[in-house]
A = this chain, B = another copy of it.
């Protein structure tokens, strides 16, 4: 697809492969800068085709090393890769996490890889929104696939379903071994479970337990979570992991799940955006609109409660026409 002449210059530069234009647009998205809007809007028609692969799991299971090895293999196979690491541990910076990031960022001399870490800034909805838009910028910039890695916080793990076409949950043997400790939500997130550090004892048992549990869940879309075993030190299992990812991507195409998933994610995105509009509007009016100020006064004075106040405000002012 050649750059259309009506694209804004920054969007045209991104499509033409200008990595500095890409970096500037990502920064604008990350900072919630209004300058990002015309760019992401103009590039939107060029998106929604490539695999977006989510990697999530607890801290310390080796997600970053795994990502680094996967990227290496994909590069060898001639595929270009964009990667986003979402770090929810802001506003505190983290040592080891940062170290992994830097290791990946050193690939900067290879034009077929683009790696970017993003700090979350408060709202979980904000992370999902920014990650979605950055994944689209990377797709518009021509990358064949995008990885989204999270460092393992509840909010982000759930948000991965709002962004990824295939979600990989990475665990380690001793965690998988005690699968009862894993919350049920995990089975809804995971298209694939990867038992990493499978050179450690207990990996067989962990994989078997996960298989049993996986066979009980997820059937609405017809996909049963696959279990693979990897090690980044040996290394082993990387091909199997990649094959499982490709199998899920093929399944999405064959089952109609790709369009259904895209529709579900876009519905969520639109609902999030309308919500944000309303949230900002309510906040401004609670400060400036006489009637809303008086409602807030009554809540502060305990003459009414915030649940009733919000219900009333919604019914009287914000219910859909």
Asked if residues A88 and B272 are in contact (CB atoms below 8 Å), the reply is no
Asked if residues A45 and B302 are in contact (CB atoms below 8 Å), the reply is yes
Q: Which of B59, B155, B269 contacts A155 (CB 8 A)?
A: B155
> How near does chain B come to A264, taking the closest CB pair, in angstroms?
10
Q: Which of B87, B90, B124 contacts A123 (CB 8 A)?
A: B124
Q: Which size class do A's interface residues fall under?
A: 35 or more
Q: In the complex, which residue of chain B has the Cβ closest to the Cβ of A87?
A: B154
Chain B residues with Cβ below 8 Å from A57 are 92
- Scan A160-184; emit 1 where CB is below 8 A from any B CB, else 0: 0000000000000001000001111
A189 at the interface (CB under 8 A from B): yes
Copies of the polypeptide in the assembly: 2
A149 at the interface (CB under 8 A from B): no
Asked if residues A123 and B155 are in contact (CB atoms below 8 Å), the reply is yes
Q: How far apart are the CA atoms of A263 and B59 in the complex, in Å?
A: 37
For window 262-287 of A, CB contacts with B under 8 Å fall at 262-263, 266-279, 281-283, 285-287
> How near does chain B come to A309, taking the closest CB pair, in angstroms?
5
Chain B residues with Cβ below 8 Å from A80 are none
A78 at the interface (CB under 8 A from B): no
A16 at the interface (CB under 8 A from B): no
A194 at the interface (CB under 8 A from B): no
Given A123-B155, A183-B91, A283-B271 contact (CB < 8 Å): yes
Asked if residues B92 and A182 are in contact (CB atoms below 8 Å), the reply is yes
Q: How far apart are the CA atoms of A308 and B44 in the complex, in Å?
A: 11
Q: Which of B154, B183, B279, B307 contacts A271 (CB 8 A)?
A: B279
A50 at the interface (CB under 8 A from B): no
A37 at the interface (CB under 8 A from B): yes
Q: How far apart are the CA atoms of A130 and B286 in the complex, in Å?
A: 22
Q: Which of B125, B154, B313, B320 contacts A121 (CB 8 A)?
A: B154
Given A40-B307, A45-B302, A182-B93, A282-B276 contact (CB < 8 Å): no
A319 at the interface (CB under 8 A from B): yes
New A-B pairs, 9, CB < 8 Å, besides A121-B185, A125-B125, A277-B310: A40-B305, A59-B89, A91-B185, A92-B152, A123-B155, A263-B296, A274-B282, A317-B321, A318-B321
5 contacts between A and B (CB under 8 A): A47-B302, A59-B59, A273-B306, A274-B314, A277-B311
